[in-house]
């Protein structure tokens, strides 16, 4: 970590406390980590996963439950990937780690036409590899580094492009029922994680598979939310709060709320009272 001035140390301490508090609250609210858990922390080499691992390592020392952390990186054989960076970084930490090698890069390039978005297939291949390995090492939880902004962006991606009111839950059971996925950074802001990474000087590894792909739908959503945040500070936080405060009866999903059986529950006395209140006796005048 870089040398900090007194003022910078104060800012860093506040930032670190805020991130730890947010992660701790998310873990508690969703019962993400329990006594005896083996948590597989997926480390991509980006700022978010580095921050997640660092914060979890610190929380482990003060947590009321005992749990184990295992760091795992999937080397997808992207051109120019610096293979020595993560092993060097992880070797200095007091946790076991694994580097998996799987050439998903070639698969994606072979399947996806030039100029098309690679994120979807890349994500599925990566997820499948990590889920399978979690079972091999007996991991009870899989920790992913998605933060609050990722969750809000996914909400709008699904609304705008898939016609679904759906985001990323802080805790998820995989489709096959074999893995529990947790997102300890669910309450953390991306800008806080970016500042934290700068302070800690994590050895960031960029993703070269996607390139700059400026027309990605997620990039467009990110720009939209950034514009909203500039115009109305705090809007992203309010949107995230709405995900945690859902009123099924005020939406329109018949699978989520039983609209078909909806009936008024009123007695004859209540009906008579309402009629008197809203429809007072009308005097008929003979003409």
pLDDT tens by residue, the chain, 287 residues: 667 788 889 999 999 999 999 999 999 999 999 999 999 999 999 999 999 999 999 999 989 999 999 999 988 777 778 889 999 999 999 899 999 988 777 777 777 766 666 666 677 777 878 989 999 999 999 999 999 999 999 999 999 999 999 999 999 998 889 999 999 999 999 999 999 999 999 999 986 555 545 557 888 999 999 999 999 999 999 999 999 999 999 999 999 999 999 998 876 666 666 666 666 665 656 65
Is 229:235 a contact under the CB 8 Å cutoff? yes
CA distances from 169 to 21, 112, 243, 259 (A): 19, 28, 9, 25
**Beta strand pairing call for 68-75 and 171-173:** unpaired
Q: Quote the CA–CA distance of 109 and 113 in Å, as a whole number.
A: 7
DSSP category for residue 93: S
CA-based end-to-end distance of the chain = 95
Written out in words, the top-level CATH class of the domain with range 6-250 is: alpha beta
Query: CB–CB of 59/87 below 8 Å?
Result: no
DSSP letter at 284 equals P
Q: In angstroms, what is the C-alpha Rg of the chain?
A: 25
- Read off φ and ψ for residue 12, nearest 5 degrees: -65, -45
């Amino acid at each position: 970590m870089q040398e900090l001035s007194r003022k910078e140390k104060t800012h860093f301490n506040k930032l670190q406390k805020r991130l730890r508090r947010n992660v701790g609250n998310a873990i508690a609210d969703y019962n993400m980590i329990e006594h005896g858990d083996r948590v597989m922390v997926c480390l991509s080499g980006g700022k978010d996963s580095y921050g997640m691992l660092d914060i979890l390592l610190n929380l482990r020392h003060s947590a009321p439950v005992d749990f184990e952390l295992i760091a795992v990186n999937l080397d997808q054989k992207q051109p120019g990937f610096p293979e020595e960076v993560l092993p060097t970084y992880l070797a200095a930490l007091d946790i076991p780690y694994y580097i998996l090698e799987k050439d998903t890069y070639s698969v994606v390039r072979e399947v996806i036409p030039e100029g098309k978005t690679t994120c979807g297939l890349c994500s599925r291949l990566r997820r499948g590899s990590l889920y399978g390995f979690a079972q091999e090492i007996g991991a009870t939880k899989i920790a992913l580094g998605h933060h609050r902004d990722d969750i809000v962006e996914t909400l709008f991606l699904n609304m705008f492009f898939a016609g679904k009111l759906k985001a990323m839950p802080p805790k998820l059971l995989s489709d096959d029922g074999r893995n529990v996925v947790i997102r300890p950074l669910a309450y953390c802001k991306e800008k806080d994680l970016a500042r934290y990474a700068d302070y800690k000087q994590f050895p960031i590894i960029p993703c070269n598979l996607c390139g700059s792909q400026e027309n990605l739908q997620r990039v467009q959503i990110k720009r939209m939310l950034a514009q909203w945040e500039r115009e109305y500070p705090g809007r992203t936080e309010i949107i995230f709060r709405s995900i945690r405060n859902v009123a099924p009866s005020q939406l329109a999903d018949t699978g989520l709320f039983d609209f078909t059986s909806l009936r008024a529950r009123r007695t004859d006395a209540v009906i008579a009272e309402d009629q008197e209140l809203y429809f007072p006796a009308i005097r008929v005048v003979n003409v």
